[in-house]
Amino acid sequence: MSRHLFLDASPPPYTGSRDALDKSLFHKKLTVIGAKTAPERTRVLLKANELRKYVPYMRLTLLQVVNAATRWSSCLMDLPKVRTVVSDPSQPDGDRLVLLRVSEKSDLTPEAKAFLDRESKGLVNYEIDLDYDYWTADECLQAFLPEELREGSPTGFAMTGHIAHVNLNDEYLPYKYIIGQLILDKNKRVRTVVNKLDSIDNQFRFFKMELIAGEPEYVVEHHESDCRFTFDFTQVYWNSRLHTEHERLVALFQPGEVVADVFAGVGPFAVPAARKGCAVLGNDLNPNSAKYLTKNVQDNRVADVVRVSCEDGRDFIRASVLRVYDEPFPAYTGPKPSRSQEERERKKQQKLAAEGKAQVETGSSVNTDPNGQRRRISHFVMNLPDSAITFLDAFRGILSDSNGGDSAGGRNLSGIYEEMPIVHCHCFTRELESDKAMKDIRQRVEEKLGHSLDDSETSLHLVRSVAPNKEMYCISFRLPRAVAFEKQ
């Protein structure tokens, strides 16, 4: 005897043209049993053990009973987006129907049948209409795609502001507009869907992309680390998958330190670091990145501790130490609160004032010279994994007093730099084992520096897997003193 042990709520097979998405074909009717009851009695049915602790009534092996009890632990309706209690269509202002997840009374256990015979006003059939809006993007795509392409269907995407971006493999490109439409329809926050292309801008390293659904609005407002970032997603580099790396690195910076961000982009390291209380030199060769970095610095109210430049990374590295020395940052006076933090503090102080309690102002300062000014760079951030290592030779001699020009310029910086800066350099490697990755990356770093690294002050952090045979790492090391003071 056939038993309807569960409801098949999957979308029907798609029978239309695959040149366009016919939403009307996503329609399905399910007939289930509804137990009639007075409105005030619905809770009795919903809480009944006879309905909540349910095992299908049929001949099963012991293992099948265990599995069935796990899968079908209740005969109450539990489909997503479908209410368990609905009005009786025959009397909308009268009785209610408690929907069951079975389509025939014979699927109920004897205990459930006896309970419903005793406590309900009878069992009736109830039709549930499922349409395009019911199913997820992945479910619809599984029904739409040819069978050979269903495994690994590409409905996953990353969000940047209101933009959803995907990286479609070649076999899915014929359906890119359908995929884009599904993502747009099923995610209310999305207004624009783009597909990243394989090609990237050779000079500024941002991804080229194509619009596959929605509005061609590419200037986004993105929130991360309690900061607000505005930028044109088609003209700058931004990777939302790196938010944990942004947070990890900023957590290493101490309030009051000076950070030089060599490839700052629109500020995912620079702005949170400044909000934490660091002073920042933020640089990017891309004029659009520098433009939006300036805006983000202003919008997040850290313009007094962030200086933006737009120049080659190598030139920036060699000039940075003198810039901070000749134009030091003011003394540290505490982290920069966000607008939400300020609002919370304002309400807190208002409450304290209303209660007649004293208001206590707190502050701290970190001095790096006798006048409290900050003249020494503590960290260099080099987040350009494709080529950052090739810029490391710019550190050779940056503190030497014999170089002039863009180096120490005759100044004696040895007293200021009793402790050398830490360099955080992002890079790629094809080595998938951590020890081999360290050996590969370290060898390339030492080759560019012309000096070995100190084991005790060198670490390697796996950021993410970029491809099956490509990993992104961040190597952090204290700049060898011999490199910085190398005679040129």
pLDDT digits (tens, 9 = 90+) for 288-299: 999 999 999 999
CATH number of this structure's domain 23-56+74-134, picked from the four choices 3.40.50, 3.90.700, 3.30.70, 1.10.357: 3.30.70
- pLDDT score at 342: 62
Architecture of domain 226-331+369-485: 3-Layer(aba) Sandwich (3.40)
Residue 349's pLDDT is: 62
- Residue numbers in the known binding site for S-adenosyl-L-methionine are 246, 284-285, 312-313, 383
Local structure of residue 106 (DSSP, 8 states): G
Question: What pTM value is reported for the model?
Answer: 0.78
Pairing between strand 377-382 and 422-429?
Answer: parallel
Instruction: Answer whether 175's CB lies under 8 Å from 198's CB.
Output: no
The 10s digit of each residue's pLDDT in 127-171 is 999 999 999 999 999 999 999 998 888 878 889 999 999 989 999
pLDDT number for residue 65: 40
Residue labelled with tokens 């947070």: 247
C-alpha to C-alpha distance for 413 and 418, rounded to whole angstroms: 9
- How much of the chain exceeds pLDDT 90, in percent? 69
Tokens of 451: 């000096």
Instruction: Tell me the chain's radius of gyration from C-alpha atoms.
Output: 31
Contact 484, 407 (CB under 8 A): no
Phi, psi of 154 (to 5 degrees): -90, 65
Q: Where are the domains of the chain?
A: 23-56+74-134, 137-217, 226-331+369-485
Of 443, 430, 428, the closest CA to residue 469 belongs to 430
SS3 content of the chain, % helix, strand, coil (to 5): 35, 25, 45
Fold for 137-217, please state it. GMP Synthetase; Chain A, domain 3 (3.30.300)
pLDDT at 109 (0 to 100): 86
Tell me the C-alpha distance between 417 and 408, whole Å: 12
Instruction: Identify which of 144, 179, 149, 152 has the alpha carbon closest to the alpha carbon of residue 164.
Output: 179
Name the residue among 285, 194, 181 with its Cα closest to residue 233: 194
The reply to whether domains 23-56+74-134 and 137-217 share a CATH topology is: no
- What pLDDT score was predicted for residue 415? 84
Give the whole-angstrom CA distance, residue 124 versus residue 140: 31
Phi, psi of 377, rounded to the nearest 5 degrees? -80, 130
Burial class from Cβ neighbours inside 10 Å (0-12, 13-18, 19+) for residue 272 reads buried
Return binding residues: 246, 284-285, 312-313, 383
For 449-484, write each residue's pLDDT tens digit.
Answer: 999 999 999 999 999 998 889 999 999 999 999 999
pLDDT at 92: 77
Tokens 């040895």, residue located: 414
- The DSSP letter of residue 135 is S
pLDDT for res 488 = 72
pLDDT along the chain (488 residues), means of 10: 61 92 94 94 92 56 41 76 92 89 87 93 94 94 92 85 93 94 95 84 72 96 94 92 95 96 97 96 97 98 97 96 95 76 63 53 42 90 96 95 52 86 97 95 97 96 93 97 90
- Cite the DSSP H helix spans in 145-257: 176-186, 243-252
